Amino acid sequence: MDTNFFEAGFTSELLADVLNDLQQAGHAVSLVDLYRYPTVRSLGAALGVVERRATVSPPWLRDRT
């Protein structure tokens, strides 16, 4: 939740996938926002998303092998 996307090994391509998933879920977010809020917690707070535990990993985390 508090690990910086880039410290976690996210690439520009992976961030683009995250951005696409967020936009498809109806969130008004830009690539600049991912740099401005570089953790899950900070991005969620900026988007007004209530914190909750995920039961399924999003595809961009599952495909990291």
Report helix, strand or coil for 50. Answer: coil
Question: For residues 37 and 15, what is the distance between their CA atoms, to the nearest angstrom?
Answer: 12
Question: For residues 64 and 44, what is the distance between their CA atoms, to the nearest angstrom?
Answer: 22
pLDDT at 30: 93
Q: How far is CA 35 from CA 16, 45, 53, 56, 64, in A?
A: 12, 14, 23, 25, 20
**Per-residue pLDDT reduced to its tens digit, 10-60:** 898 999 999 999 999 998 999 999 999 999 899 988 988 765 665 666 666
More confident call, 16 vs 61: 16
**What one-character DSSP code corresponds to residue 38?**
-
pLDDT at 23: 93
The pTM for the full model equals: 0.67
